[in-house]
Amino acid sequence: MTRGCFFLSDAHLRPLSTPGERARQRQLISFLKHLHGRAERLFVVGDLFDFWFDYRSVVPRRGGRVLAALADLADDGIPVTCFGGNHDWWIGPSLTEEYGIIVRHEPLWLETQGRRLYIAHGDGASVPSRRYTLLLRVLHHPLAIAAFRMVHPDWGVSVARFLGNDFRRKGEEETPALQCAPVYERIAEEVFASGADIAVFGHDHVARIKVTDAGMLVVLGEWISLGTYGELRDGVFRLRTWRSPDAEPWP
């Protein structure tokens, strides 16, 4: 069996005490374990965590078992790349130093299997409100990050939870169809004109593929309820849904 490149997005991992979270993480971990011997590379295209901040000496209480499964993949020689999303833009070197995960905060151009891919979380392309744009600029500023690092983690998480709820309210102001199109289509046209033939995005919790003469636009969906992921094998990109660990995921 030839190995493929796999893509997932928007797991929004929370503490296991969150209703339904244990079952969701169990499904995700079963998927990650299944990639051993099947994956050439894995890309987590943003919002792996519902919140993450890279503190210097403490680890946020969420996603530890998933991180261990990702570290197992990295230890097995399968490169794991994790993009910062709008909920976990503050991931940093601790994921690399402790778990062997490659961290990115910018889109990635990738040439593999005879295809040229553009991979990005996509939150900057979803036409947010001015308030949302300003809020992101403030939160991403180095001075704001330095100040947040000085706040006790328990307080910081409470602030992040409030802001996360605000992000979700902003997203709910538009339907999924309005979030996905025509914005990603415009961005996709630009990257296709720059030489990509597949554009892969996360962020919008709707899974879809749209093929045009210029290229293929992929929106990965999410792992909160859909469990969708992308697979590039032998140059062919497909969207799939992970089924229960008791069933065979695919032939």
Query: Is residue 67 scored above 90 in pLDDT?
Result: yes
Is there a contact between 224 and 206 (Cβ–Cβ < 8 Å)? no
Q: pLDDT tens across 28-37, in order? A: 999 999 999 9
Q: Which residue did the predictor score with more confidence, 143 or 18?
A: 18
Is there a contact between 123 and 46 (Cβ–Cβ < 8 Å)? yes
Percent of the chain with pLDDT over 90: 55
Ordered by where they begin, the domains of the chain are: 4-241 (3.60.21.10)
pTM over 0.85: no
Q: How many CB atoms lie within 10 A of CB 33?
A: 12
Q: How far apart are CA 103 and CA 46, in angstroms?
A: 10
What are the backbone dihedrals phi and psi of residue 102, each rounded to the nearest 5 degrees, phi first? -80, 130
Amino acid at 110: L
Average pLDDT on 9-21 reads 92
